[in-house]
Amino acid sequence: MKRHVGFILIMLFSINAHAQEKGVVKPINTDRPGQSINPYTAGNRALQFQSGYGFLRDNLAVGDINFHNFDVNTKFGISDRFEFSFLLQLSSLLFDPKTMSSSGSDVEPDNGLSQYSISSRGLIMKGEGLKPAIGLEATYLTAGTPGDDLDNRLGRFILTLQNQLSPKFSFTGNVVYFTNNRTEFTANLGYSINDQIGVFAEYWPIFEATFDGESGLFLQDSFMNTGVFWQLGDDFMIDLAGGFRVFAPEFMDGTESYYLQVGLTKRFWL
């Protein structure tokens, strides 16, 4: 039987497999880490837990932001083409203003629940040769300041495609639309060192749509991300990733931002 294994490294990592030979380990299809997601699901009757810790440091002209977050994403594969998922995120946000009247010693962080969401993903077309795999994910999410009222409710739609460029290289791209007129794109190039270890590089620009005066999409921020994953055994994977800002609008000139994240994925077959 022909064996075809594709590792997709994606929005901070993603790993994909198109088919599985009997007795051969099926790569874990996870959305950790990075910003991109891939078109494929967790798998038919797969229950998958994705969890991780992240740290973001933002040095702004008006103050410094330290953001810690811990999230758990639970996915259930209805079939090889469809899945549901639920994400829960806990965060700690510390803003230290750069003013003469305040100092970091007396600033208290905001701690608590910062986001929860429910999503569904469908595989529209499987990839074969130069033909890309295409998928669509729809999400309803609620977010806000940690420990405060989560009153920011919006929808998110992601069109995702993946192309296996060669046995070692893969490309994944996302078009992300939020119902508050925010648009994001991701371009991810992954490289499989072997069947268990892979690396990726990713570009993540963020745009905002404006309809007053000069209409259009305007670049608000952008990051470069990279990382590595390691699949340990049949159904367990660990990952490490990081990124930094490569562009900011004029009012953020001279600012610096970077993030680090570490996580794991565990899969069960029901």
Rounded-to-10 torsion of CA 114, 227, 156, 117: -40
Both tokens of 183, joined, read: 């648009």
Q: Which residues contact 167 (CB under 8 A, 6 or more apart)?
A: 192
pLDDT reported for residue 6: 37
Range of the domain at 66: 54-72+86-191+200-222+246-262
Is residue 10, in this structure, part of any structural domain at all? no
pLDDT reported for residue 243: 95
Is residue 9, in this structure, part of any structural domain at all? no
Is residue 156, in this structure, part of any structural domain at all? yes
Mean pLDDT in order along the chain per 10 residues (270 residues): 36 36 68 91 96 90 85 96 97 77 63 96 91 96 89 95 94 95 94 94 87 70 94 95 84 76 96
pLDDT reported for residue 13: 36
Is residue 124, in this structure, part of any structural domain at all? yes
pLDDT reported for residue 212: 61
Amino acid occupying residue 207: F
DSSP for 58-75, please give it. Answer: EE-SSEEEEEEEEEEEEE
Contact 162, 16 (CB under 8 A): yes
Is residue 253, in this structure, part of any structural domain at all? yes
pLDDT reported for residue 247: 78
pLDDT reported for residue 71: 96
- Number of domains observed in the structure of the chain: 1
Is residue 187, in this structure, part of any structural domain at all? yes
